[in-house]
Amino acid sequence: MEEENHEILCYGCNKVIETKPWMSVDYPDDKIMFHVCDYLCSVKLHNKLGSGNYWDKIVNKEDFIGIDFLRPTIPIVKKKTYLSDVQIEVINEQKEFNKMESYWENNSDISSEDNFQ
């Protein structure tokens, strides 16, 4: 069921779909297009459309991979890598070492050669 004030409502849960629907199915018998927000709601379409293959009625086929696999394409999200406590400690020690080394190189009044004479 759809369009009251140009809002797209999910057939399964009746919530307003603010982005692109997960799946849209054109049902010409009732001259209506059904929209669902996720897979769980799409299962409820079987109550209206009957069980079986309704691939030919799906409007947004480009969002699904192949005819045999009715699932939406999901963008790959790069996972964040987390450092262990030991790795963080090593990084912090390296930074501290670099600071000390830089300090001694820049603030040394007497060169190391002078110390040996």
Does the residue 49 lie in any domain? yes
In terms of Cβ atoms closer than 10 Å to its own Cβ (0-12, 13-18, 19+), residue 95 is exposed
pLDDT of 75 strictly over 80: no
Amino acid 77: pLDDT? 72
* 45 located within any domain: yes
Q: What percent of the chain is predicted at pLDDT more than 90?
A: 15
Evaluate whether residue 48 is within a structural domain: yes
Counted domains in the chain: 1
- Indicate whether 113 belongs to any domain: no
Instruction: Quote the CA–CA distance of 48 and 29 in Å, as a whole number.
Output: 11
Predicted local confidence at residue 94, as pLDDT: 93
